[in-house]
Structure 1
């Protein structure tokens, strides 16, 4: 990317995805506070670069405005109180994508993200925004008819907990169209579900253990792990200042944890621990019935 003009408050940049691809032009008008992108026609690969630039622009602005980026999944559920987001916190391969997809399929929840979520505490609650990354649907949750439709999606293999996992990877628009899922915008956070392993001997009769009184230290520990996304933040660094003043690095995990914990406490967001002794059973366990004991509204939108 290079600056080809900078005069009278107008910054013009040109760049391309890789050698041989068509150029994309970006105009940043400081006076009108507008950023325009001129995309090449008929050149699919070249459109990936401006897509990244657009994400960088908005990601930079969200970080600079005090939003916190966390590795999590989230969905929005329509309740009598209005839309409420449910945030799923878990370690790598800890069931976030499974729970997000099951909520959309079984509770008619709207999709926010299954990988990255922006959170911001406000005076009226904690707001959640889904960041548009690829959606990874565990293949065991995809029926044969849908697999036949999935010509645009890639099937990825991975080892998780010593077992092979296969996932259908789609863009958010592809995911919404293929599964008939609605996508949600900024939503007030209503519940945080911290997912982790459990001792089979201590689990309930359904193979689940639900703790409705998890401590602030447990939530804080989960948030600290979830906030460790340096690679994703690196992709949002705007070294040329195209998006305006950048968020000031380094990002302190203690600051993120303290800010979010205070917001969750002030907004009285429900915090639930979900322990699963056998993660291979997560696609079929009665998750929502178990969680409803602590978060009664979680099944209000279920068909």
Structure 2
């Protein structure tokens, strides 16, 4: 291991003072410190309103300090920062982290958010319960590691206490969560964005949600994919795929871009109100139908939605970056989810996926949606 793999310019920030904010979720609190108020706003905005921002009512369990510094990292043979070193690589995008040193109990890592990105430096002091993230000034991509670290902090602790992560979409209607379950490319994202547009619902997530043992639903979007038919001509990164012979075009946003560009209102955590299971197979000629889901159908849909091994990698803390529970302690968050949504009104919505952007889904789900506020 090369001792001087990373050099840090430790010059003071422009003001010499830190600004700070506290993020809270379910009694867990993370303090964010930085010399730059704009950086603080960018970091805090990533997880709001899933997390509230206020002076902590519970003891702060960890501090994330984000600093802008010019860093230079020594590369291995061939100019590859990670070549010849043991590193952790996450799926979807190739994010890499490598431990490069341990000095006086402080673990030092170098990380790249994606191939070709500028490296960032992380320093983890478990005794002081502080993680420092050092990003090159102006590096918006590197700053997204702050979002990753904050998500690891909260979600690893929630999963360790019995919360579950589901591959699902969700919106809030009259203060209660409407959760949509479907298979991969099954239309749950389209239904969530239609609820925002057609019903004035508040957005929770279009891909991942966390559900607590008491039925609290927290949106956990890392990115938002809006169907092109619903996004219009707004700016955003466009993605075009062919799924089961059907052309699928989406516009991709970060949550902050989603709020700013489309003016979407996000919901804080809310109690679970109802579940809609989207079933598109064999529905193309039958129009739109809705029927009550029995317990077996609901359990089967929940089991499929809970099968998220790769997504769980992003909210686990195997390197101890944010002092999270050991992987073995997160077993409560990966146990079979039988009965997770038991007792919640559940409906099967039968509609072809290609028809979802225009189909009369709310007429079919009128009783489900109108009854949400009365179930609180």
TM-score normalised by the shorter chain: which range applies? 0.7 to 0.9
Cα distance change on mapping 1:63 and 1:292 into 2, 3 Å: same
Residue equivalent to 1:256: 336
Q: Number of aligned residue pairs: give it.
A: 273
Matches within 5 A, 1:10-89: 11-17=106-112, 21-28=118-125, 30=127, 35=131, 37-78=133-174, 83-89=175-181
Alignment partners' CA distance in 2, 1:239 and 1:26: 15
Q: In the alignment, is residue 139 of structure 1 matched against residue 228 of structure 2?
A: yes
Residue equivalent to 1:227: 306
Residue equivalent to 1:107: 199
Cα distance change on mapping 1:254 and 1:215 into 2, 3 Å: farther
Cα distance change on mapping 1:196 and 1:38 into 2, 3 Å: same
Alignment partners' CA distance in 2, 1:121 and 1:288: 29
Alignment partners' CA distance in 2, 1:165 and 1:96: 14
- Is the contact between residue 172 and residue 267 of structure 2 (CA under 8 Å) also seen in structure 1? yes
Alignment partners' CA distance in 2, 1:299 and 1:163: 36
- Is the contact between residue 166 and residue 305 of structure 2 (CA under 8 Å) also seen in structure 1? yes
Offset of residue 77 of structure 1? 1.4
The alignment partner of 2:103 has SS state of: strand
The alignment partner of 1:60 has SS state of: helix
Offset of residue 211 of structure 1? 0.6
Structure 1 runs (4+) deviating above 4 angstroms are 27-31, 33-36, 198-202, 249-254
- Is the contact between residue 24 and residue 50 of structure 1 (CA under 8 Å) also seen in structure 2? no
Offset of residue 132 of structure 1? 2.4
The alignment partner of 1:190 has SS state of: strand
- Is the contact between residue 68 and residue 256 of structure 1 (CA under 8 Å) also seen in structure 2? no
Give deviations 1:133-177, integer Å, cap 9, x for gaps: 21111111222xxx2x40xx2111112231111111111111111
Alignment partners' CA distance in 2, 1:220 and 1:298: 21
The alignment partner of 2:299 has SS state of: helix
Alignment partners' CA distance in 2, 1:184 and 1:142: 20
Offset of residue 13 of structure 1? 3.3
Which stretch has the larger CA shift, 17-26 or 46-55? 17-26
2:186 to 89, 94, 117: 94
2:291 to 195, 200, 211: 211
Contiguous gaps of at least 5 residues in structure 1 = none
Offset of residue 90 of structure 1? 0.3
Q: In the alignment, is residue 280 of structure 1 matched against residue 280 of structure 2?
A: no
Offset of residue 255 of structure 1? 3.6
- Is the contact between residue 63 and residue 247 of structure 1 (CA under 8 Å) also seen in structure 2? no
TM-score (norm 2): 0.65
Matches within 5 A, 1:117-132: 117-122=209-214, 126-132=215-221
Greater Rg over alpha carbons, structure: 2
Cα distance change on mapping 1:66 and 1:247 into 2, 3 Å: farther
Residue equivalent to 1:5: 103
For the aligned residue pairs, the C-alpha RMSD in angstroms reads: 2.8
Alignment partners' CA distance in 1, 2:178 and 2:316: 28
Q: In the alignment, is residue 183 of structure 1 matched against residue 286 of structure 2?
A: no
Offset of residue 258 of structure 1? 1.9
The alignment partner of 1:248 has SS state of: helix
The alignment partner of 2:337 has SS state of: helix
Give deviations 1:251-297, integer Å, cap 9, x for gaps: 58994322514xx32xxx21111011x32221111212211124423
Contiguous gaps of at least 5 residues in structure 2 = 1-97
Cα distance change on mapping 1:275 and 1:34 into 2, 3 Å: same
- Is the contact between residue 97 and residue 115 of structure 1 (CA under 8 Å) also seen in structure 2? yes
